[in-house]
Structure 1
Amino acid sequence: MGWNSWNTFGCDINEQLTRETADSLVSSGMRDAGYRYVNIDDCWAEPERDAAGELQAHHERFPSGIKAIADYVHERGLELGIYTSAGTRTCADSIPGALGHEETDARTFAEWGVDSLKYDNCHNQGTSRPPSATLRATGRPIVYSVCESGESAPWEWAPEIGTPMAHHRRHPTGAGNRQHQVFPMGVIDIIDFNRELADHAGPGAWNDPDMLEVGVHDVDEFAGLTDTEAVTHFSMWSIMASPLIAGNDVRAMPPHIRDILTNREVIAVDQDELGEQGTPVRDDGDEEVWVKPLANGDKAVALFNRGPRTAMITTSTDGIGSDASTHTVRDLWHRTETTTTGEIAAPVPSHGAFLLRISPRS
């Protein structure tokens, strides 16, 4: 869980933004809700390496250097993430990639105090599997995010390279790809792709459907999600046990966006220690029922309406795989509780999702 600069700011980043974002993660309550990583994406470095072949922080954007930013972030109980690519240049073609400099860059990141690495795959000269041994050799625990757009099915090979680092791997269709990010096109395409990868997910090997678009608007002519769609986006990422990486400007988010991003009951579903990715148990076209088993024996259930109008979506305790005679049904967005002996139902608005926690009572 954390924040990434790309969705809102792209290359328009600097150390003031990074420091202010770290402060806002604290003051908004996001840090205490679990958002730990402050991730600086592309465009943070000088366009060329120095005479020793090492990366340098951009002298105008980050005049204090990345080590000073890491120290600032750490003092606030947060972690720092950085970005590079497995090729000769990064995806924005703004800074040098890591190809041929993997050991040097890993050592540099560790010395700076970096805690997470987003490793993209642009300009890769045919390289298909970004190395992780160089990170492990530094002795610093660095979360490794493989962001190679699914070109070589990283969900199949990435788990074997992650130990002892937790890591996740990005999909071919990213939420930041806004030419397709008109709900339901972008979000639903990503959900449909991710659902097929559930068997590959688990602790230390997470499927990553990309950064959150909750609260992101007026960027590249992207008007943003409606409040209903933002709740759905967050609900479905959570039931799929996805990394929760905010992409909005947390310095200026309205209260209702903060409330979506910091709903601790929903976050608890995402972060449940069992680590199972939820899957659909019923798919009636526009109406779906998803289930995610939880560590304490509860079930998280999403009633998901992809369609253009409100729909009554119904399932049962048998349908979600629970054989207790009575259950408590907790609505995690409306914060209400009911009891059921079988039926689970709700009127779900167009593009909406109800996220429920179903607890057996007897």
Structure 2
Amino acid sequence: MIPSRTFVTVVIAILSIATSTDAVMNGVGKLPVMGYNAWNAFACNVNETIIIQTAQYMKDYGLLDVGYNHVNLDDCWAMKDRSATGEVMSDTTRFPSMNNLTDQLHALGFYAGIYSDSGWFTCAGYPGSFMHEEQDAMTFQSWGFDFLKYDNCAIPFDDIVREGVMGKYQRMADALVKVAEDTGTTFIFSLCEWGWNQVWLWGAQMSHSWRINGDIEPVWRSIASITNSASFITQATNFYGRNDLDMLEIGNGNLTYDEAKTHFTVWALVKAPLLIGTNLATISQEMVSILKNQEIIAINQDPVYGTSISPFRWGINPDWTSNATYPAQYWSGPSENGTVIMLINTLSQPADMFFNLTESPWIRAGIQYSVRDLWTHTDNGTAVRDFTAIDVPAHGVVALLLKEDGYESAGMMPPCAGEALTQCTAENGTKYS
């Protein structure tokens, strides 16, 4: 059975009411969601049988065991028209009983997710929730769902909505809070607004995650572009709210094995939700092994540090350069067990990648560091002052965990490392040059 929680899911508008604040205090929604979303693999060709079979694949492949515990519907689950009293209804052929669906998912050990839209219609033309927010929220709760993805199509005219983008989403956030007050259960609320330059400024006020870009495609060009977008807003991510880079396309399209590893590593280490978008009936075990890298997942689910890793050097481009083809290459951040380093080779051929340790703000001068490779799962000796990753594959990634391993040896020359060398000064005022 599904694990019990004091609150079924996470907080909505975490600063606004006591119910939500209690959810935060209980740790609900603290970490990124992991699971499955049906859209990229099936689009509108989805039904109850496919969803339950997918959940079974999640169990059979061991994905549930490593943390992928959500199975979420996307668009096209509804009838085209509401009932005479305004209720949204599930498709009577493909989803004859939503309660039966959620009961089966819960019995398999999963939380169940559903989809709606902040406009008149969903992106596929089914009923949206505008002006039905509380009614729909109560319906979703009565069906047993735990998660709501909320899209941005069919926007009402300005003279009807009379709100900015934030206000349009706040309507459903408020409705979910009302349902929480009335029933004692809440939803994980995931915004899908697509605007990386604005949504992160307010998304954390009302949701678990917020989309920062348009729909992902299973090609390197899309992975690079989304990585570029994420590189400028890493400060928006922390416990209870994070940038959503869209679904994991591991095993879809034309991504090579190395590109798929990079895709997964970026999403996991920037603390994005990890929602698989692949048809699990056809995925290879090689690709499943990427999704099950528990050392990478441990960073995504770190209980001590909720922040994203961030670039410390862009690499090919000058720092702070936006380039959708060649995004930032050198990233780092803190974790419960050491400093995380991510190196991305954005070139189309293998390359060595070098950095001075203290370029990362999380590395201390005068300390040597043990090196753990999070993909080879090997301990690779000690790094002193700098590190070079040899022959990183085209569009490939290196993920490392650096742990303090004592002081540098005495008498190191030069006496200061990296950029500090230009101001390296003895106690008597003599500068090293």
Confirm or deny a common fold (TM above 0.5).
Answer: yes
Aligned residue in 1 for 2:14: none
Confirm whether residue 360 of structure 1 aligns to residue 404 of structure 2: yes
8 Å CA contact 1:239, 1:269 repeated in 2:
yes
Aligned residue in 2 for 1:351: 395
CA shift, 1:317, in A, is 2.5
Aligned residue in 2 for 1:6: 39
Of 108, 114, 121, 1:76 maps to 108
Worse-superposed segment, 147-156 or 334-343: 147-156
Instruction: Please list every run of at least 4 consecutive aligned residues from structure 1 whose deviation after the TM superposition is greater than 3 angstroms.
Output: none
Of 177, 182, 197, 2:219 maps to 182
1:333-352 alignment, distance < 5 Å: 333-338=375-380, 339-346=382-389, 347-352=391-396
Aligned residue in 2 for 1:220: none
Of 67, 72, 78, 1:45 maps to 78
Partner Cα distance (1:151, 1:186) in 2: 15
Partner Cα distance (2:345, 2:101) in 1: 43
Aligned residue in 2 for 1:234: 264
Greater Rg, structure 1 or structure 2?
Answer: 2
Partner Cα distance (1:284, 1:157) in 2: 30
CA shift, 1:235, in A, is 0.8
Structure 2's unaligned 5+ residue stretches are 1-33, 317-325, 407-433
Number of aligned residues: 344
Of 172, 176, 184, 1:135 maps to 176
CA shift, 1:151, in A, is 8.0
Task: Give, as a single letter, the amino acid of the residue that structure 1 aligns with 2:287.
Answer: I
The normalised TM-score by structure 1 is: 0.91
8 Å CA contact 2:370, 2:383 repeated in 1:
yes
SS in 2 for 1:32: coil
Aligned residue in 1 for 2:229: 193
Aligned residue in 2 for 1:329: 371
Of 351, 356, 365, 1:311 maps to 351
Aligned residue in 1 for 2:190: 145
Partner Cα distance (1:308, 1:252) in 2: 28
Of 288, 291, 305, 2:329 maps to 288
Aligned residue in 1 for 2:22: none
Partner Cα distance (1:145, 1:236) in 2: 20
8 Å CA contact 2:197, 2:212 repeated in 1:
no
SS in 1 for 2:302: coil
1:110-259 alignment, distance < 5 Å: 110-125=141-156, 126=158, 127=161, 128=165, 129-130=168-169, 131=171, 132-139=173-180, 140-150=185-195, 153-162=198-207, 167-175=208-216, 178=217, 182-183=219-220, 185-217=221-253, 224-259=254-289
Aligned residue in 1 for 2:427: none
Aligned residue in 2 for 1:300: 340
CA shift, 1:186, in A, is 0.9
RMSD, matched Cα: 1.5
1:25-36 alignment, distance < 5 Å: 25-36=58-69
8 Å CA contact 1:174, 1:190 repeated in 2:
no
Partner Cα distance (2:275, 2:128) in 1: 23
Q: Map Cα deviations across residues 137-178 of structure 1 (whole Å, 9 max, x no partner).
A: 11222100000112882211122224xxxx100023331xx4
8 Å CA contact 2:196, 2:229 repeated in 1:
no
Partner Cα distance (1:275, 1:344) in 2: 26
Confirm whether residue 105 of structure 1 aligns to residue 145 of structure 2: no
Partner Cα distance (1:39, 1:290) in 2: 31
Task: Give, as a single letter, the amino acid of the residue that structure 2 aligns with 1:227.
Answer: Y
Task: Give, as a single letter, the amino acid of the residue that structure 2 aligns with 1:301.
Answer: I
Aligned residue in 1 for 2:127: 96
SS in 2 for 1:329: strand
CA shift, 1:50, in A, is 1.2
CA shift, 1:262, in A, is 0.7
SS in 2 for 1:33: coil
Partner Cα distance (2:52, 2:219) in 1: 31
Aligned residue in 2 for 1:20: 53
SS in 2 for 1:284: coil
Task: Give, as a single letter, the amino acid of the residue that structure 1 aligns with 2:41.
Answer: T
8 Å CA contact 2:358, 2:385 repeated in 1:
yes
Partner Cα distance (1:330, 1:256) in 2: 22
Task: Give, as a single letter, the amino acid of the residue that structure 2 aligns with 1:111.
Answer: S
Partner Cα distance (1:282, 1:152) in 2: 21
8 Å CA contact 2:262, 2:395 repeated in 1:
yes
SS in 2 for 1:300: strand
Aligned residue in 1 for 2:28: none
Aligned residue in 1 for 2:25: none
Partner Cα distance (1:47, 1:109) in 2: 17
Change (3 A) 1:67 1:25: same
CA shift, 1:342, in A, is 2.6
Task: Give, as a single letter, the amino acid of the residue that structure 2 aligns with 1:266.
Answer: I
SS in 1 for 2:209: strand
Task: Give, as a single letter, the amino acid of the residue that structure 2 aligns with 1:340.
Answer: A
